[in-house]
Structure 1
Amino acid sequence: MPSKRQDSPNTARLTPTDMMQQYRRIKAQYQDAILLFRFGDFYEMFCEDAERVARELQLVLTSRPQGKGMERVPMCGIPFYRIDGYIARLIGRGYKVAICEQLEDASPTKRLVERGVVRVVTPGTLYEVGEGETFVVALLPTEQRVGVVWLELSTGEFFGTESWPAELPSLFAKFPPRELLLPAGQEHWTAELRSWMQRMPPVTVRDWSAFAPEHANAVLQAHFGAERVDAFGFYEGESVLRAAGALLRYVQDTQLEFLPHVKALRPYRPCDFLILDASTQRNLELTESLFDRRTEGSLFA
């Protein structure tokens, strides 16, 4: 009889540790973000994330085994008490950061601590550091006009308008976006905005279905209630409502929590105000100085 084939150590299937399998499962859900994986008193990063962060933040790059007999993977770490500053630096370089926490206390009898992402920090949702307001802005271009909606996460300000493309420079000079949200298929708007914006913010592209009238309206009604949405002053299906629903859903997805301080979507009507163009606002130094572009020394400081 032929002898039974025995797999050699080199051909046997190699299995990563439980922790590395957990890391990979979570990372697979946040491919577009740097995953900070809580491990005791540190947040660890592995593989491509580790290499990228070590390069950007000048951290020491080490490695760790991912399983018995398997190659080591790149790793770097950040102490938990210094996390805010490092996140701000990564956001300033245009990255998104997913914060993965330990959801239970470590126990000698438990082999693997449960972990999960509690927040995704993006350029438009990092409100803890920096000067001035932090707006994440959704744009929904239509045939001639553009639905524009702003959300300031720290205060809950949520307002929008429908404007002509030529009005965007003045609007963005008054309410500058830290992050822009666009529907898929409208990426050409990035080049259009870059042609006149002095500081182009990061752009996040969302599936067109997020801007669909039925989806956007359902998001708004679930958060505010159907009667409140009807009272906002926008007719159903208008580009502002569609952009608002997509923006609110995006913030819910990244913050992973209910947002009770976002209490209403209010219309912003430029006709109710004296509009100064972007050049005039800049030369008057209303929000930042001409010399070093800092808030200190501006009229509203």
Structure 2
Amino acid sequence: MTDRFTLARLGDEGREVPVVRVGERTLDARPLTADFDGAFFAADGVARIEAALGELPELDAAEVAGLRVGAPVARPGKVVCIGLNYRDHAEETGAALPAEPVVFMKDPSTVVGPFDDVLIPRTSTKTDWEVELGVVIGTTARYLASPDEALAHVAGYAVSHDVSEREFQLERGGQWDKGKSCETFNPLGPVLVPAADVADPQALGLRLWVNGTPRQHGSTANMLFSVAHVIWYLSQFMVLRPGDLINTGTPAGVALGIEGNPYLRAGDTVDLEIDGLGRASQKLVQA
């Protein structure tokens, strides 16, 4: 049986190196690919990594420890998000349960590393948190016949933080994209876990803390629309291409739904994790 592995990218922003994590070891993936991008996934990259694990050179642990962790996927072609996909989150925000997935887009340049700072936009007073299961597409999906076909198109899963500015999203003309596309508003990672190593994407616990205080504690079992349904549904309206990222919604516990609305401020720290996918942490700073 092949050792379980995950994909990561290390190094300064814009100069990340693709690596493979196998236990405590970090392997250099550059003999196989220049980066973990759409072209890599389109060329069956995850399977090629698995086949080459015994041949990839190991990187020095001390050197690796000092490197920044980037997002595990480079330059997603698009980031597609699903809103109100947990019953408890819809209820806490006073929204009606959707009959179909609520779809909006997020600027792909918002994707940053899992430990990078998150910038609070100028004039913002309602910057909010949302832990989400991120799904990375591995093969092109268009007009899928049913949800049964959907998961075969997934390359892997990652922790995704769909940071939101609620005033921009809900009070400034009704355009959700405006409250979702601010700079640094999508930390991703620390790793991409191959789809084959996630037995059931509908059985993952999600948790988030703000300054050490638990705020979100949910499970993907409570999604209104499953990962498979979401991929199938989206494929009826757009082509999902290798390297695209789908944010699948957040459980209850966001600032918008808490009495007093304790929105994020400069100096706050957000920690988040998903079962089997790792843990991330970001500091909030003023743009």
Structure-1-length-normalised TM-score = 0.29
Bigger helix share: 1
Which structure has more RCO (C-alpha within 8 Å, separation ≥ 6)?
2
Bigger strand share: 2
Structure-2-length-normalised TM-score = 0.30
